[in-house]
A and B are shown apart, each in its own frame.
Chain A
Amino acid sequence: GAGVSQSPSNKVTEKGKDVELRCDPISGHTALYWYRQSLGQGLEFLIYFQGNSAPDKSGLPSDRFSAERTGGSVSTLTIQRTQQEDSAVYLCASSSGAGFGTDTQYFGPGTRLTVL
């Protein structure tokens, strides 16, 4: 089956604008993760969804960042009032949801966000 897909592949926006990044997980995967990859901070966890449980938002850097997962499948990461430090590659991953850290996470190709 298809892997994790993300859209858009690249996004250029102006400072202060809102952006939405989309992730389609592997069919049947109940767990979904967002990570951010930037030059200064490396790869960092943002948010984790598992089934119908409340998401783990502990990695979101500010209240300008939010994410939703509709119908247990597609997820949207929203960044409001973008800042230049938000420029990064945003990676989405999904896994089968077995839990306890056992899952292999499968990654999408990422969205490169550039804030001018």
Chain B
Amino acid sequence: AQTVTQSQPEMSVQEAETVTLSCTYDTSESDYYLFWYKQPPSRQMILVIRQEAYKQQNATENRFSVNFQKAAKSFSLKISDSQLGDAAMYFCAPNFGNEKLTFGTGTRLTIIP
């Protein structure tokens, strides 16, 4: 079975500091795509960043970057210079090639002013 684990139900960070959210997964597939989504209280699921498993280079999007370790099946999200607007639930959601996203249980991120 393909599983996704987010071991941090809640995290908090001071504004302007850096925080890393962890995600591990289990799959026998070799080609797949990994996504981080954020879900603020408005309920809208918003794409944060994506990573192709065949690429060794870690993806970055402005203040957001990933640390992708394929052999370890680890896909962590780093948020630099945290801002109040970053407060949300963050979901790790790989697509293991069957078109469905498999979601982790989420990490609730709180930004401390």
Known contacts A101-B33, A101-B95: A106-B47 contact under CB 8 Å: yes
Contact B103 A42 (CB under 8 A): yes
Instruction: Check: B84 CB closer than 8 A to any chain A CB.
Output: no
Report A37 CB to chain B, min CB distance, Å. Answer: 9
Instruction: Check: B55 CB closer than 8 A to any chain A CB.
Output: no
How many of chain B's residues touch chain A, expressed as a range?
Answer: 20 to 34
Return the chain B residue nearest A45 by Cβ: B100
From A48, A50, A104, A109, contact of B42 by CB (8 A) = A109
CA distance A43 to B45 in the complex (A): 11
Instruction: Check: B83 CB closer than 8 A to any chain A CB.
Output: no
Instruction: Check: A107 CB closer than 8 A to any chain B CB.
Output: yes
Residue numbers in A under 8 Å from B35 (CB-CB): 104-105
Instruction: Check: A110 CB closer than 8 A to any chain B CB.
Output: yes
CA distance A42 to B106 in the complex (A): 9
CB-based A-B contact count at 8 angstroms: 63
Contact A102 B33 (CB under 8 A): yes
Return the chain B residue nearest A9 by Cβ: B43
Instruction: Check: B61 CB closer than 8 A to any chain A CB.
Output: no
Return the chain B residue nearest A91 by Cβ: B45
How many of chain A's residues touch chain B, expressed as a range?
Answer: 20 to 34
From A42, A56, A89, A110, contact of B99 by CB (8 A) = A56
- Which residues of A, 12-44, contact B by the 8 Å Cβ criterion? 31, 33, 35, 42-44
Contact B106 A50 (CB under 8 A): no
Instruction: Check: A1 CB closer than 8 A to any chain B CB.
Output: no
CA distance A35 to B93 in the complex (A): 13
Report B73 CB to chain A, min CB distance, Å. Answer: 16
Contact B103 A43 (CB under 8 A): yes
- Per-residue CB contact flags for chain A residues 95-108 toward chain B (1 = under 8 Å, else 0) read 00001111111111
Residue numbers in B under 8 Å from A91 (CB-CB): 45
Q: Which residues of B approach A to under 8 Å, CB–CB?
A: 31-33, 35, 37, 42-47, 50, 52, 91, 93, 95-103, 105-106
